[in-house]
Structure 1
Amino acid sequence: MLSHGSVLLFCLVIGALPVLAQAPQGWVDNPTAVPILRTIRAIPVSSDQEAESQDVARESLMSLALPGWGQHEQGKNRKWFFAVLEVAAWAFFWEREAAGARLRDRYRDFAWAEARFHPVARADADFDYYETLTKWTRSGAFDANPARSGVQPETDGTSFNGSIWELAVNMFLASGGSGEGDPDHVRVLEFYKERAYGPGFLWDWSGLPDGQQRLAGLISESDDRFRQATTMIGVVIANHVISAVDAFLVARGASSLGLLEFEPRRGPRGIGWSAQFTLLLGS
């Protein structure tokens, strides 16, 4: 998921370009000469300045939409840097997404083949379900006595469903037991039915001691691939923003934008990437 900071930066650049386009020529090379925005709005604008401002905004927005486009209009060779980075980032994003999806299929297949019961047709569940499989050896039964009418909850607290029943009893029947049909008992049973896993999602790792560890490893690998894909979305956004700022500064007379450096880094969940951008302003 993208951070709020990335989205805010993207919106600020879009909103700022039309305003900054009205700034006087040379402010980029002399930052100390930049007045407050209300002073900029008071500067008379000639027809030539207005046309130049329109070109500045147009080229900036072109690069914001497609990195390198504005630089192409300006005849700058660094258009290739932005274009190649855009293609590479999207290629890496789709490769990581596909790898994450393949690993997700693998851990779902593994759980179905090694731990889940097969009384009904296979139905895959959400991510939380597979996380639960890595933490609980057994699900326990959903209905402990199918011969009786209604649902007879699992009472073994060492199983997942049994722990749900114990939690419900402690929450709603803390003052003492109550018989079937009692409003409190009905509430406990409804709580259990909503949260316990039903017949199509029961499991037991007892026959495969290392099964949970193997499942957890596959889930972690899948998560890492999806996380790397999300990181690439951040790189794409940064590329659009930096390309737009570069086109804007070049149109305003800047000789150079700055330095953009990427380097790999090892974090607590594996290899990632960090980026550092140094903006060069002034003479």
Structure 2
Amino acid sequence: MNQDWYKLLPRVRNEQPLVHNITNVVVTSFTANGLLALGASPVMAYAREEVADMARLARAVVLNIGTLDHTVVDAMIIAGKSANQQGVPVIFDPVGVGSTAFRLEMARKILSEVKVSVIRGNAGEIAGLIGKTGMTRGVDALEQEAGNLVETAATCARQYRTIVAMTGKEDILTDGVTHYMVQNGHPMLTKVTGTGCLLSSVLGAFVAVEENHLLAAVSGVASYGVAAELAARKTGEKGPGHFQILFLDQLYRLSEEDLSSLGRIQKL
């Protein structure tokens, strides 16, 4: 990995890219606050009548199917096609994709009509996209059943011709040929709803400023994980409520020095 991966964070803050999110109702506020803390500019627009225009204005578009229906899917496809026409990168978060037939059908519909730059999901969700079933329970991955995580992620990347960011205890980033593991993060992230969804939007901010989308994904995931570790240190035993607030604070305070000293990235 380029040793300057941590230099993408100041680029995000300097450029303040507009990230258009069509995300789920559970995480909208947390996602917006997280992007603002990081230094990006969030916008949440869902109406079919305006999403194409908003996608054209944005530097990245994030599609998150956490709370989906046909209207939302239609808006996502309109926004995604508009982004594709303008060369705006699209990040796709297939929340809980293996849990119901409808969710899987809609995810595959979006992926068949929109070219995505990055797919960010847990092991069960990534496996679900390539037809491996029985690995997702609700929106949580049963990672112990996922088998070879690297091969699962790489297969998904090759199938959809995209970067895959498979996140979990250890994060796998791949373009289908080149693979990286990021070992930053903290278990407290699993105790706050929306941390995975926010990460997908954070990846949108990093992809917006860097044409090498694999580098951007690795940098975004590692930066997010370091912020979580630093927040957990300060939280102590206070619990997820304190962690959530301190995590936002840490995204705001995160420095290049933090990343260069604490980032744990390994090429596989």
TM over 0.5: no
More helix by share: 1
Q: TM-score by structure 2 length? A: 0.26
Greater C-alpha Rg: 1
More strand by share: 2
Q: Whose relative contact order is higher, 1 or 2, with alpha carbons under 8 Å and at least 6 apart?
A: 1
